[in-house]
Amino acid sequence: MKNYKVAVVGATGLVGSTFLKLLWEYKFPIETLTLFASERSAGKKVAFGDKEYTVQKLEEGCFDGIEIALFSAGGSVSQKWAPEAEKSGAVVIDNSSAWRMVQECALIVPEINLAHFDSARKIVANPNCSTIQSVLPLKPLEDKFGLKRVVYTTYQAVSGSGMKGKNDLARTLAGEEPEFYPYNIAKTCIPQIDVFTDNGYTKEELKMVNETRKILGKPDLKVSATCVRVPVMNAHAVSIMVELEKPFTLEEVRKAFEGQDGIKVLDDPQNSIYPVSTVANDNDLVYVGRIRRDLSCDNGLLFYCVSDNIRKGAAANAIQIAQALIKAEKI
């Protein structure tokens, strides 16, 4: 089996360090590993398995010879450097939002739409964290019953804001004043993730709307979202209301979820069995439960899903894309 020359951009960050942890855990076939971060971290040593690697800064020619480049250093870094890596011949898998809605770039959840990969354009976008865990259960519903309308309400952990978010929860839990969020995240939920746009939605909410349509290949699907930051360290939750085209039984829905790779159904509410953040922490599954009829419309369904936003919502999904492309002989 071939080994690959791999680069991680943003290797010192929350997602970047999870890339390293998972590349090791998954025994990813690595020939060489090159780590990049900002100039601040250049020269810093980072452990990978039993070796130490020196973090480098990005500069002209730094991607020469790289075959797979995993980016998680923010949108502006991806905007500038992902095309450089692509020009050098690497397949880029990018965690920022920079390339997600670019038509020629595939936006992939490997269990759903690996076929969207087009080898003419080698920058692949990794979707928004809340979107990944939401489209996984939506896909079998679309296949079996047809999706007519989707309404999301998210409960997003502070790790979704990177180290700054985790530090602000720790700081405010210790009784100090917030420095990152506009309110004390230890004491309240905050119904704002990212900045507001002119139509009253935040950018995060519009990412969920647009990315859901692109991944599922349904540009006209009716989708709305409300995204809320909650005082949980890690693992996002999403409550999903779906109006389906066809009638269904709850048993059929449960079976459809159970048949989808990447999903585990936890749904025995009488015994307090449903998805919670602590179950999802540090693994790659999307947990689905609280499956019930929506009482407000015909063919309406409500359910709740939880997943580790740094793993399946970011690093794990990106590495799974690389693994799936290798298996399909596209890299």
Q: Footprint of ligand NAP on this chain (CB under 6 A)?
A: 10-16, 36-38, 40-41, 58, 72-75, 77, 95-96, 129, 159-160, 162-163, 309-310, 313-314
**Listed residue (61, 7, 56) closest to 30, CA to CA:** 7
Cβ atoms of 169 and 233 within 8 Å: the answer is yes
Residue 236 among the catalytic residues: yes
Q: What's the min distance (Å) between Cβ of 10 and ligand NAP?
A: 3
Beta-bridge partners for 134: none
The smaller minimum CB distance to ligand NAP, of residues 29 and 74, is found at 74
Q: How many other β-carbons are positioned within 10 Å of the β-carbon of residue 307?
A: 33
Which residue number places its CB atom closest to ligand NAP?
13
Minimum gap (Å) between residue 217 Cβ and ligand NAP: 22
User: Of these residues, 105, 129, 227, 305, which one is catalytic?
Assistant: 129
Look up tokens 């793993």; give the residue. Answer: 311
Residue 116 falls in the annotated catalytic set: no
Tokens of 92: 């880029």
Beta carbons of 308 and 237 less than 8 angstroms apart: no
Only one residue has tokens 């359910």, namely 303
At 167, the amino acid letter reads N
Considering the complex, state which of residue 158 and residue 325 has its C-beta at the smaller distance from ligand NAP. 158
Minimum CB–partner distance for residue 2 and ligand NAP (Å): 28
DSSP characters over 18-57: HHHHHHHHTT--EEEEEEEE-GGGTT-EEEETTEEEE-EE
Least distance CB 223 / ligand NAP (angstroms): 19
Query: What amino acid positions are annotated as catalytic residues?
Result: 129, 236
